[in-house]
Amino acid sequence: MGNIFLDLVLFIYNTIGFHNLGVAIVEIAVLTRVIFYPFLRQQAHYTKKMSELQPHIKALKEKHGDNKQAFATAQMELFKQHGVNPAAGCLPSVVQLVVLFGLYGALYAALKQNLNLNFLAWNMGQPDRFSVAGIPFPLPGLLVVLAAGTQFIQTKMMMPIQPAKPPAAKASEGQGKEFMEEFAEAQSSMIWLFPLMFLFLGTQWPSGLALYWSVSSVLAIIQQYQVTGLGGLEQYIVKLKQYGTRH
């Protein structure tokens, strides 16, 4: 499969990439985002459906109490009635990761070939980083910071909006969290995982990978906004506006 992705990179480089690897990477990022758009819509549809079913799931929990087997059976029947497949929520992400890893391997292989690596101010084969006197480690450059920042924004937009709970509701919690709360917490950890990973490791990777991730994430933000709007990012924007009015 790695050879297939490498052939694709070289084909775009030699045809519509103007024999420039940076241009080819940008075009590949656009192409992959167009291909992934149906998967993104499917994932957003799944998240929305699960949010709509939360009152029903809560009612099933209250009905079956500590009988976890009965609850699981009733929950699967509920999903079946509403045409929700829990595995469908993970499949788009798995497919995208497989393709992304394939493309990353192909880009690494392409960087070792005799290609034109100069794109704007960067060499696609060299890490995007700089050094500052007195700091013993390299600092991330513009592409690395852009890749981390856009990934954070896009992941935050994917999160469902969590309404604030009244104090009484918080005090009454005790028998476990609702599905959407657990989902939101899992997503919260993912918010920081990839951005921090890119900030730390991006200074060691070729800048071609940072360029691909940056362009891909910017396009993903646009697509995500078309599908779900600002999503979980809206709460951040509201807080920023409130902070701005106070100062």
pLDDT digits (tens, 9 = 90+) for 97-139: 777 788 778 888 888 888 999 999 999 989 999 999 999 999 9
Tell the burial category of 17 from Cβ atoms under 10 Å away from its Cβ (0-12, 13-18, 19+). Answer: buried
Provide, rounded to the nearest whole percent, the portion of the chain with pLDDT above 70: 83
CA distances from 226 to 103, 220, 230, 231 (A): 26, 10, 9, 11
pTM: 0.78
Number of domains present in the structure of the chain: 1
Q: Which domain holds residue 26?
A: 2-246
pLDDT in tens, 31-85: 989 988 888 887 777 777 777 888 888 898 888 888 889 888 988 998 888 877 7
Q: Are 37 and 220 contacting, i.e. CB atoms less than 8 angstroms apart?
A: no
Measured CA to CA, the distance from residue 186 to residue 209 in angstroms comes to 26
Measured CA to CA, the distance from residue 237 to residue 15 in angstroms comes to 42
Read off the DSSP letter of residue 139: E
